[in-house]
Amino acid sequence: MTPSGSPDLGPNAQRFSGFAGLYDQVRPHPPETLAEILTTYGGRSSPAVVDLGSGTGLSTRWAAVWAGSVIGVEPSADMLATADAQKLPNTRFVPGYAHRTGLDDSSADVVLAVQSFHWMEPSGTLAEVERILRPGGVFAAIDCDWPPTVGYAEVERAWAECGQAVEVYETRLARGLEGAALHAPVRADDPVARRYSSRDAHSDCALASKVATWSKDSHLERMRDSGRFAWCHELALLQIDHGDAERFMSLFRSQGGYQSLRKHGFSDDELGIPRLEQAAQHHLGTDRRTWWFTYRARIGTRPL
């Protein structure tokens, strides 16, 4: 913990070091429809946007299409360098945390947290969002469900089984287990495996290396309870995408949990990756097929 009593978020930024290129190459971007929704709520056709936890700039570049300007705020030097190398004329990136951006008061019409709010200390972040949003501005915490819907139950089930293994091993690491106790095979009746949710893997879990995380399913409740918004609302949207077996596997490998365990010496065999790869290759192959990503947006509007 920091002297203020808040979690030390340095480990959260470090979790995403070393695979920025992979992340940028395979991750999806939010639906275009969401841009229209956000600009309608905000009442600005070409808003000034701040993108918190902007990562490699995927969400920043998405916002740049419909925004007048976008500032990406990102604590990971690795991610920031990848983003800066691809910046667009109306974008810029700054190092910083969501609870301490260094940006001016009331400088944003829209504040985004795309696939990132669950890595941010909520109270400090929402206070900062209120500070940098103009009156009537819009905050949106946006996440997509994992895995994408690909239409093959065997493939999606294999992803979930690998996700269960990742969560169990990360929990053991967080508890300080070592050796045989750490690497013992995951049992189907393991309590951690049984409560695993691929949609919200950060619900009631402990992560390795002192990483702090918050449940995605509680985003809306935290926003409402903060008292900083005039209206909070959640909606779900569908994003149509395309991919093959290689991209599907790369998406799994772009997950922070998988990368963390590999850094701690776990093998693909322990995590069940060969079974996932076999199912993906069998059903998805090398042809680009239609996929469907479910996006969930928790939207809060600042009072006028």
Same domain, 97 and 216: yes
Any domain includes 4? no
Token output for 233: 């609302």
In the chain, the number of structural domains is: 2
What's residue 186's pLDDT?
Answer: 96
Same domain, 36 and 113: yes
Tell whether the model's pLDDT for residue 3 goes beyond 60: no
pTM greater than 0.85: yes
Same domain, 16 and 135: yes
Residue 101 sits in a domain whose CATH number is 3.40.50.150
Tens of pLDDT, residue by residue over 228-259, are 999 999 999 999 999 999 999 999 999 999 99
Tell whether the model's pLDDT for residue 1 goes beyond 60: no
Instruction: Label residue 9 by pLDDT band (50, 70, 90).
Output: low
Any domain includes 62? yes
Any domain includes 5? no
Whether 103 and 3 have beta carbons less than 8 Å apart is answered as: no
Same domain, 87 and 192: no
Distance CA 152, CA 290 (A): 12
Same domain, 56 and 83: yes
Same domain, 162 and 174: yes
Same domain, 78 and 162: no
Beta carbons within 8 Å of 291's beta carbon, 6+ residues apart: 148, 149, 150, 240, 241, 242, 243
What's residue 8's pLDDT?
Answer: 66
Any domain includes 206? no
Nearest to 148 by CA among 27, 22, 24: 27
Same domain, 117 and 20: yes
Nearest to 41 by CA among 231, 224, 218, 227: 231
Same domain, 28 and 77: yes
Give the domain range for residue 265.
153-198+245-283
Whether 202 and 12 have beta carbons less than 8 Å apart is answered as: no
List the single range of 7-21, 84-98, 242-256 with lowest mean pLDDT.
7-21
Same domain, 50 and 184: no
Percentage of residues of the chain with pLDDT beyond 90: 88
Tens of pLDDT, residue by residue over 254-295, are 999 999 999 999 999 999 999 999 999 999 999 999 999 999
Distance CA 34, CA 31 (A): 6
Beta carbons within 8 Å of 20's beta carbon, 6+ residues apart: 55, 56, 76, 78, 79, 81, 82
Tens of pLDDT, residue by residue over 130-168, are 999 999 999 999 999 999 999 999 999 999 999 999 999
Average pLDDT over residues 200-219: 85
Whether 38 and 45 have beta carbons less than 8 Å apart is answered as: no
Same domain, 31 and 127: yes
Any domain includes 254? yes
Any domain includes 111? yes
**What mean pLDDT value characterizes the chain?**
94
DSSP the chain: --TTSS---HHHHHTT-S-HHHHHHH-----HHHHHHHHHHHT-SS-EEEEET-TTSHHHHHHHTT-SEEEEEE--HHHHHHHHTT--TTEEEEE-BTTB--PPTT-EEEEEEES-GGGS-HHHHHHHHHHHEEEEEEEEEEEE-SS-B-S-HHHHHHHHHHHHHHHHHHHHHHTT--HHHHHSPPPTT-HHHHT--SS-TTSS---GGG-----GGGHHHHHHHHT--SEEEEEEEEEEEEE-HHHHHHHHHTSHHHHHHHHTT--HHHHTHHHHHHHHHHHTTTS-EEEEEEEEEEEEE---
In sequence order, the β-bridge partners of residue 138 are: 110, 301
What's residue 7's pLDDT?
Answer: 61
What's residue 6's pLDDT?
Answer: 56
β-pairing verdict for 231-243 and 289-301: antiparallel
Any domain includes 267? yes
Cα of first residue to Cα of last residue in the chain, in angstroms, is 36
Any domain includes 98? yes
What's residue 2's pLDDT?
Answer: 40
Average pLDDT over residues 15-39: 95
Tell whether the model's pLDDT for residue 181 goes beyond 60: yes
Same domain, 83 and 166: no
